[in-house]
Amino acid sequence: MATYRSKPYRSRPLWDDENATDAKLPVYFRPGEPWNDIDGKPIQAHGGGVLLHDGVYYWYGEDKSGPTYKRFSLADDSAARVDVIGVRCYSSTDLSNWRDEGLVLKAVPNHADLAPSMVLERPKVICNDRLRTFVMWMHIDDADYKLARAGVAVSAAATGPFKFLRSFRPNGRQSRDLTVFKDDDATAYLFYSSEGNKDMHIARLTPDYTDVQPQHVKILIGRSREAPAVFKQNNLYFMLTSGCTGWEPNQAEVHWASDMFGQWNLVGHPCVGGTEMDAAETFQSQGSFVLPLPGWPGRFIFMGDQWDPDNLAESRYVWLPLWVVPVQNSSDGIAGAVVRERQDIMLVGKEGPGRHPGSSMMPADVVVRWHDLWRFSDFDRVPKSRWESGRFYHM
């Protein structure tokens, strides 16, 4: 079992050194195609996220390899489910060839939170460097999604086993789709869809990352966004979300903020390339994570799930290059485009709605570009911002 290591695996970023993979296999990504681990078994890491720790990437996600069936109480596709099996972890040094590290958190029969009949979705893991712990947050629910709770588990090793601590509603609020984001100063935040999925909430985590602190904000009020994925570039925060359409794809949106608890402004929908219809529906996927490529500013990997509600186990992964492209000018087009959105922010637990200071002038654009097949060198074809090109869509 891998333990907390202090020595990095490799000193050169893998995208500088594509042919020198440890597995000696080519580093290509084929979005939407079947993706097997290095033993040839289909990867089961849906709704997942990736942690880079000591030069090794760990991909955590839902193992949905059981049979798909429908809840009696609900007739449409969103009622499709797979009983909880657990959270599976894979490790890789090149992001393409993944080794199965097994189930790091397993379903437990008759457990109040982890029983197979429950829902365990969107696991995300961050490392607490000070305490040398790995902390997993996940959405815990009953089969009708009425509990709306966040679950927390901890482990001494990236590859588990994780000990489940509890599930709860952060600061008493509903929590469904969620993610955690660890900032450069090691402060971590929980982002969660709340209030019947109408609003997004952000709460700061306690120093041990296993609880939330009382002060938190509601953002994107009434916009019904879920599947948050948060990333940072040049001291700006970005959040990619989906709409709420069950397992069906919809249009991704990106927001940005200069202050985590400040104003979050619309950037727009980031997808370009492929067919117009596919781009408008996030290439038939729903985002789950945006992975930074360290030492390569402005380059990220968009990770999404192409859900198959008829057979959730067969849901595919869409990994694509994502760029944060600086916007240089400050024409009316930019400011005008941004202020079209309502920008309500509310401090939870305080009197009335509060508007935080913050600029709405968009400093950067975010682009996810479709490729049938791609490799790291494709990042060199940097897209232009939709604003600088003087048009309302990406070039």
Site for ligand DGJ in 107-126 (CB under 6 A): 121-122
Pairing status of strand 149-155 against strand 56-63 = unpaired
Q: Can residue 269 be called a binding residue for ligand DGJ (CB under 6 A)?
A: no
Pair of tokens at residue 22 = 């440890």
SS3 content of the chain, % helix, strand, coil (to 5): 10, 40, 50
Min. distance of Cβ 280 from ligand DGJ in angstroms?
18
**Strand 364-369 versus strand 271-272 pairing type:** parallel
Q: How far is the CB of 139 from ligand DGJ (least distance, A)?
A: 7
Binding ligand DGJ (rule: CB under 6 A), the pick from 32, 47, 151, 249 is: 47
| Residue of the chain from 65, 78, 133, 215 that contacts ligand DGJ (CB under 6 A) | 78
What letters, b where the CB count within 10 A reaches 16 and e where it falls short, cover 238-269? bbbbbbbeebbbbbbbbbbbbebbbbbbbbbb
Closer residue to ligand DGJ in complex, CB, 204/225: 225
For the CB of residue 272, give the shortest distance to ligand DGJ in the complex, in Å. Answer: 23
Among 89, 227, 318, 345, binds ligand DGJ (CB under 6 A): 227
**What is the rounded distance in angstroms from the CA atom of residue 334 to the CA atom of residue 261?**
23
Total number of residues that touch ligand DGJ (CB under 6 A): 10
CB of 68 to ligand DGJ, least distance (A): 12
313 is an interface residue for ligand DGJ by CB under 6 A: no
For position 246 contacting ligand DGJ by CB under 6 A, the verdict is yes
How far apart CA 394 and CA 385 sit, in angstroms, is 6
Q: Side by side, which strands form the sheet with 299-306?
A: 271-272, 364-369, 316-326, 299-306, 286-292
Member of 29, 90, 247, 302 binding ligand DGJ (CB under 6 A): 247
Rule CB under 6 A: which of 157-216 touch ligand DGJ?
177
Helix H, strand E, coil C: the string for 189-217 is EEEEEECCCCEEEEEEECCCCCCEEEEEE
| Contact predicate 248/77, CB 8 Å | yes
Where do contacts with ligand DGJ occur on this chain (CB under 6 A)?
A: 47, 78, 121-122, 177, 226-227, 246-247, 286
